[in-house]
Structure formats: C-alpha cells, structure tokens
Amino acid sequence: MDPAKNEEYRQLLLSLVPADGESIGNRALREKLRGKIESRGGDLSDKDYWAIRRSLIDEAKIEQGRGRGGSVHRMVQAGKAAPLPRAESKLYEPFLKALENGYAPENNITRFVSEITAGQGRRPTGGKWTRPDITLIAVRTFSFVPGKRLEVVTFEVKPDQDVAFDGVYEAIAHSAFAHLAFLAVHVSGVKKDPDERILQECKRFGIGYITFTDPENYDTFETVINPSFEDPDPYAVDKFISNQISSANRDRLREFLR
C-alpha cells in the first residue's frame, strides 16, 4: 500500500472509533472501514486492517481492548494535570543526571534511554499512578544469555520522608510494567534514619529503597533495599513505552534492539 493511501486509511479507521472512549469490536470496525474504502473504489484486506490498526496502537491513538474477537477504543485525552509539588519537581533534573552518570555505569548499563515521565499534562498515559517520576530503560546483553533484554527501571522521587509513604504504593503500581521499581527519598542531615514503616512495605512488595542527600551527586545515593526483579506482562511493558516514552527515545530503543 502506498504511503498516501495508507495514511488516508489510517485516518478513516480512526474516524470510525468512537470519540468518547467507547469500545468497538474488531469485526465491526473492519467491516465499517472496508465499506467506506469500497465506496471510494478501493479494497481492504484483513492483513491491511491489522497493519493499520497496529500503527495507530503504536502511536497511542487507540488502545487494544477486550471482547469477542477483540476490540479497540480511543486513548481519550486526560484532563489538565495538577501542578507537581515544587519541592519534588525540582529534584527531577539533577536526579536524572545522577542516574545517567552514576546508576547506569555502576550497573554496567551502556545502552539506555532515560527521561522524566512525571506530570505529562494532557497526554493519555492511563492515570496518575501509571506515571513514574523518572524512567530508565536499558537494553542489556550478557555473556552466556542469548539475545537482548529490555529492562524498565522506574523511580518514584520524594522530597522528604514525611511524604514518602504514599510513594511506596505508587512504586508498587509501577511493578505492573517495570522490571525494577524504586522509591527514592531525599534526606537531610537532621533526619537520615529511614522510616521503619517504609522499609517494611518496600521489603514486603519487593520495592527498592534509595536515600540521597544531593540529587545531582550519585556519591550521596545509598541503596538501602534492592528491589525484586519482576517479570511484567510484555504487553504492559510495550503499552507503557508506547504511551509514556518520547518518540525520540522510542526510536533509540528500536535502534538498540536491532
């Protein structure tokens, strides 16, 4: 299919998916699309339908759903995001640099993308607790394990221990698509001892716990608890990357995985 016709059919398919987020079955959508195309003198094979549908899913314009024969629905735009707490958001940039310059080399990660994924405004990401503050995605290889392995590492960053407890449960939610999930808490010289409740919950759910005094200096980072390595559903991982990672970084990941 030539590119112009492919784009025409993509837009036509998207126009047939309800704008309010309601689902439509693949069979019904395919037949509606085929009817529209045939009325214009064209034709649509089942293979063409699945390819067009897949491209729209990859761009997070529609999402796969349940139902007999499967379904799709639009990715409805979220409302305006609440402003992030200043004390927390000002940690993100330096914390990200510390991960790139410290966490990655310490863990022998050479091919990776990383970005701030908190507060993505009206972008349809699936809800507040599906948005880690910081995400690092590594493409790893090993001497005796064949192939390449994708590893999603998420960080929930909190400015102090007084607001850190909720971060445990946010990090737990990230385990649905992350291989490693961390809670990272900024501590001062006055209050360095970790909250025992936080430690207990992190251990119970396999969440990593990091403390740091200077967000830009990885030498001040301490991994108090190592996270459990999870094996999330590949579909959930793919959906997370498609919905929340920038197009430039998605392209870099594709290059790493070739």
For the sheet containing 62-65, what is the strand order?
Answer: 24-25, 71-74, 62-65
Of 84-93, 115-124, 233-242, the one with minimum mean pLDDT is: 115-124
Q: Where are the extended beta strands (E) located within the chain?
A: 24-25, 62-65, 71-74, 112-116, 134-140, 149-158, 180-186, 208-212, 222-225
Residue 66: the pLDDT is: 80
Mean pLDDT of the chain: 88
Give the percent of the chain with pLDDT over 90: 67
The domains found in the chain, sorted by start residue, are 3-74 (1.10.10), 86-257 (3.40.1350)
Q: pTM above 0.85?
A: no
Residue 87: the pLDDT is: 83
For the sheet containing 222-225, what is the strand order?
Answer: 112-116, 134-140, 149-158, 180-186, 208-212, 222-225
Express each pLDDT in 125-156 by its tens digit: 444 556 899 999 999 999 899 999 999 999 99
Residue 99: φ, ψ to 5°: -65, -45
Residue 120: the pLDDT is: 60
Express each pLDDT in 190-241 by its tens digit: 555 667 889 999 999 999 999 999 999 999 999 999 999 999 999 899 989 9
Q: How far, CA to CA in Å, does 141 sit from each of 73, 77, 108, 144, 250?
A: 36, 37, 10, 9, 19
Beta-ladder partners of 149: 140
